[in-house]
Chain A
Amino acid sequence: MSISFEPITGRYATLTLDSRPCRVYIEEAGSGIPLLCLHTAGADSRQFRHLMLDRAVTDHFRVIAFDLPWHGKSLPPEGYENEEYRLTTESYAEAILAVADALELERPVLMGCSMGGRIVLHMGAHHAARFRALIGLEGADHQTPWYDTAWLDRADVHGGEICAAMVSGLVAPQSPARYRWETLWGYLQSGPGVFRGDLYFYR
């Protein structure tokens, strides 16, 4: 067989989040110090795929990333069709701790990007003993809303297209086109109202 598989493996588990069963997708690569990675708003764990393929990292770290409910290959909870998704600090923190507990991670390093970079500050303030290190990527402790996020979830504006077009301005002009568009593909695929619901976390 000539196929060459990447060393990333993904699995599903049902965790109890917000008192409801939720099917969550978790992937990982490498071994060593557990490094739990948090994706940005409106995206999913694929954002860490290059890190998971970097031997310089995976020789020393067990790199783990999961899709929050409503994101990527994780499902929204039963009954989602009649709900407005809104991420809160409490539900975000609960999901992180639930994944760390389910995997029996021993004081993992917690690394998050953008909204993930913000929640690590909360985890440091409220759950510091659970983690050996915190890494915020593009994080901010305070983000003033600067536009009307209602545009991200309207019947007369394509949700995936508008999310990617908004985020494109957050990708540096020097970024290689291949990776710019790989990154934006995740936003193009985000479910209706999910990016906007994530931004609720910043309110």
Chain B
Amino acid sequence: MKHSTLSDAEVAATFERLPALVNADAALVRRGRWCSTSFLLGAGSLPLHVTIAEGKVIEVLRGPVLMLSWRFAVRADADAWSRFWQPLPEPGFHDLLAMTRFGRAVIEGDLQPLMANLRYFKEVLEAPRRAAASGASA
């Protein structure tokens, strides 16, 4: 499938939609109800600090913010995120861990909150894909 590659700024802007996309999804918020943490998203060269409280995304803050701590980081370049958010992604870009396995995303830090809530975090990061798919079918 042809796709247009977003810029780093466009990827960051997409991540900034996560509070609206996630918090409107009651099932997703419920799935993350035991999860309160801070993590870092890498949109190419742009870092974003994300704060989760009981399954809701309460802040996406563009960084870098010096000395602001986070538990784990998920980084990929803009091309990888662009492919990841396609309504029907290519093999290898359909899943966060697949992107990690094939070297297109990097996960680092203390992975316990991520792994304890893996389905939740996968679906949070896929929220822009679901929004694009529902928009395309509307």
Q: Which chain A residues have a beta carbon within 8 Å of chain B's beta carbons?
A: 146-147, 151, 156-158, 161-162, 164-166, 168-169, 172-174
Contact = CB atoms under 8 A, between A and B. Distances in A.
Contacts of B95: 168-169
A173 B94 contact: yes
Interface string B84-122: 000011000011111011000000000110011011001
Interface of B: 88-89, 94-98, 100-101, 111-112, 115-116, 118-119, 122
A164 B94 contact: no
B119 A164 contact: yes
28 contacts: A147-B97, A147-B100, A151-B115, A156-B112, A156-B116, A157-B112, A157-B115, A157-B116, A158-B116, A161-B118, A161-B119, A162-B116, A162-B118, A165-B118, A165-B119, A165-B122, A166-B118, A168-B95, A168-B119, A169-B94, A169-B95, A169-B96, A169-B97, A169-B122, A173-B88, A173-B89, A173-B94, A174-B88
User: Binding site of B, secondary structure by majority: helix, strand, loop or mixed?
Assistant: helix
- Of B88, B97, B98, B100, chain A has the most CB atoms within 10 Å of the CB of B97
A172 to B, nearest CB: 8
A165 B116 CA distance: 10
A158 B115 CA distance: 9
B59 to A, nearest CB: 25
A137 B10 CA distance: 40
Contacts of A161: 118-119
A166 to B, nearest CB: 7
A146 B101 contact: yes
Contacts of A164: 119
B112 A168 contact: no
B32 to A, nearest CB: 12
Contacts of B111: 151
